[in-house]
Structure 1
Amino acid sequence: MKRTKSNKRDIWRMVLIGIITVIVVITLRILVFASFKIPSFSMEPTLFAGDFILVNKLIPGPRIDFLGNNEEGRPLRLIGYRTIKRNEVLVFNDPYYKSAEIIQNWNAYYVKRCVGMPGDTLYIAGGIYYSNGQRNKINDKIATDSAQYAAMLPKFRIPGRFKELGWTIDNFGPIYIPAQGDLVTLDTINIHLYRPLIEYETGKKLVEMEDVYLLNGEVCRQYQFKLDYYFMAGDRGTDSKDSRYWGLLPKDHIVGKVAYIWKSKDSGTDKYRWDRFFKSVE
């Protein structure tokens, strides 16, 4: 009889330990970290296809997708360890997933480098990035050979979203990256830069009619942004679909900062790349 009771206690103890373990793991996955596999070559030489990365959600803060402002449909973001810094590698949801407009699709992920911060004025000249008039030091890390850009077919060098401005992926901008609270005046240039952002934030259509801009039928001469935005770029500049093609990234799409590579496997040979295990990502 005593043995039976003891066995029952052991079983319940194991069940309790299992439940607690599951709760802890789920909590950590929601609030602290996430793991992703790199599928492409757009972040070489920093990340290779077949790398498995660990993402720190505490930078800029864990995002709770099922909670938040129901009126605007935005997820809740908790206070993080610190804010994002320029040139950090981030994982984020694709803001233009199969759409010309910014959408909320929490199932499609990108990994790129944050080369432009809220409040920056960014431009690219000959494949070289400049922020606020200063050459971005990240050019020493990413592939920005102007000869590579020149060799690309014209159709791949012209980003469709900005073609009216005459920009190419190697000669791009300048573009001001809005910070939360920034007020911009709409004009013939800004309408191309910020229309998707304004429509995303308001849920309304912004149209031009005889040099007048109408937001859901009402005249809109200026707009104050509700979110921070970022300019994202791939380290392999000639083979990366990034902000040069699709535009600026809203903060609420950011998952977190890439911390390190915890495993790496060559997709071609199916062999482990042991030298990349537990390698930090800068």
Structure 2
Amino acid sequence: MKKVIKSIFQYVGAILLAIVIAALLRLFIVDFYSIPSDSMYPTIEPGDFIVVNKMYMGARFYKNFDFLDGAHPETVRTPGYTSLKRNDVIVFNFPTHANGRWDMDLQTFYVKRCIALPGDSLSIIDGINYINGQSGYGNLEDQQRLHHYRGDYAPGIYNAFPFDYWHRWNIQNFGPLYIPSAGTTITIDTLNFSLYRHLIAYETQVPVHELQRQLYLGDSLIREYTFQKNWYFVAGNQVFNSRDSRYIGPIPEDFIVGKASFVLTSKDPHTKEYVWRRFFKKIH
């Protein structure tokens, strides 16, 4: 009887240890996501089950769980072994606009390509991405399609961030847009206030409003602002079918889960059969 009890405890202990190890792996090292859409095709296909490297730029944790009661989710990141590079494919939380507040949607994750880093200046000229005056970022083949496209656009596709009268940016001609880095101070004027208003509101968690083409933080007029966080510009491979920074603007480092490393498994979303050619395919 003692041997039976001892065996049961050993099995239970092994199971609990396996659960703890799996939880630690997902917290600190990797995570897994199933891809439902084709916005990153051909790099990532619908039905791919991808592995995300959290150690790349450091694992992200919530400082507390006040967000369960509707508070702003504050995060902290462990040291990573490198920093994001242009053209890295990342997984991040999509922003939400609940109750007029721009914040992190804790339930929604997107995968896109990071094409501009903090401190970069981004422009889209005739459909081609330029970072600090240089091209070669994002899906070049689809950018060429956009460059030569002269047809009609589906509703909600053509016009782009910040959706105002003064900039009138679209997916063919966009920017230049400075991507803020932590510690950088910019002057807030009548032209750029619409570009950075939701970034400032997110960082300060104070209501931002416009009055006579000037920006107010609460009751205080903002003439300049020093950014507290690093921001990034992300884009999908499919320029005609991707909800990305062309529409939502830059995203903060807080939102980023990690770098997409490789496809673990893949199933055809229609037939539900395994797509063996996708197994263990590196994402780059």
State TM-score, norm by structure 1: 0.92
In the alignment, does 2:146 pair up with 1:157?
no
Whether contact under 8 Å (1:67, 1:76) holds in the other structure is: no
The aligned residue for residue 41 of structure 2 is: 44
Report how far residue 137 of structure 1 moved: 4.4
Whether contact under 8 Å (1:68, 1:75) holds in the other structure is: no
Whether contact under 8 Å (1:30, 1:62) holds in the other structure is: yes
Query: How far apart, in 1, do the equivalents of 2:94 and 2:106 lie?
Result: 8
Whether contact under 8 Å (2:181, 2:231) holds in the other structure is: yes
SS in 1 for 2:163: helix
Report how far residue 149 of structure 1 moved: 4.4
Whether contact under 8 Å (1:35, 1:54) holds in the other structure is: yes
In the alignment, does 2:187 pair up with 1:185?
yes
* Structure 1 residues 177 and 264, CA gap change in structure 2 (3 angstroms): same
Whether contact under 8 Å (1:69, 1:75) holds in the other structure is: no
Query: How far apart, in 2, do the equivalents of 1:160 and 1:190 lie?
Result: 12
SS in 1 for 2:216: strand
Whether contact under 8 Å (2:161, 2:170) holds in the other structure is: no
In the alignment, does 2:55 pair up with 1:58?
yes
The aligned residue for residue 259 of structure 2 is: 257
Whether contact under 8 Å (1:130, 1:136) holds in the other structure is: yes
Query: How far apart, in 2, do the equivalents of 1:263 and 1:74 lie?
Result: 33
Matches within 5 A, 1:196-215: 196-215=198-217
* Structure 1 residues 149 and 196, CA gap change in structure 2 (3 angstroms): farther
The aligned residue for residue 12 of structure 1 is: 9
Whether contact under 8 Å (1:121, 1:177) holds in the other structure is: yes
What amino acid sits opposite 2:181 in the alignment? A
What amino acid sits opposite 1:195 in the alignment? R
Q: Which runs of 5+ in 1 are unaligned?
A: none
* Structure 1 residues 89 and 104, CA gap change in structure 2 (3 angstroms): same
In the alignment, does 2:72 pair up with 1:75?
no
1:23 to 20, 24, 28: 20
Query: How far apart, in 1, do the equivalents of 2:228 and 2:39 lie?
Result: 30
Query: How far apart, in 1, do the equivalents of 2:62 and 2:259 lie?
Result: 17
Query: How far apart, in 1, do the equivalents of 2:205 and 2:199 lie?
Result: 10
Note the aligned Cα RMSD (angstroms): 2.2
* Structure 1 residues 162 and 144, CA gap change in structure 2 (3 angstroms): farther
Sequence identity percentage:
37
* Structure 1 residues 234 and 100, CA gap change in structure 2 (3 angstroms): farther
Runs of 4+ in 1 over 6 A off after TM superposition: 68-72
Query: How far apart, in 1, do the equivalents of 2:213 and 2:37 lie?
Result: 43
* Structure 1 residues 233 and 241, CA gap change in structure 2 (3 angstroms): same
In the alignment, does 2:283 pair up with 1:281?
yes
Report how far residue 136 of structure 1 moved: 2.5
In the alignment, does 2:130 pair up with 1:130?
yes
Query: How far apart, in 1, do the equivalents of 2:98 and 2:268 lie?
Result: 29
The aligned residue for residue 118 of structure 1 is: 118
Report how far residue 73 of structure 1 moved: 4.2
* Structure 1 residues 137 and 153, CA gap change in structure 2 (3 angstroms): closer
CA deviation vs aligned residue, 1:125-160 (integer Å, no higher than 9, x gap): 121100001113444365541366432427421126
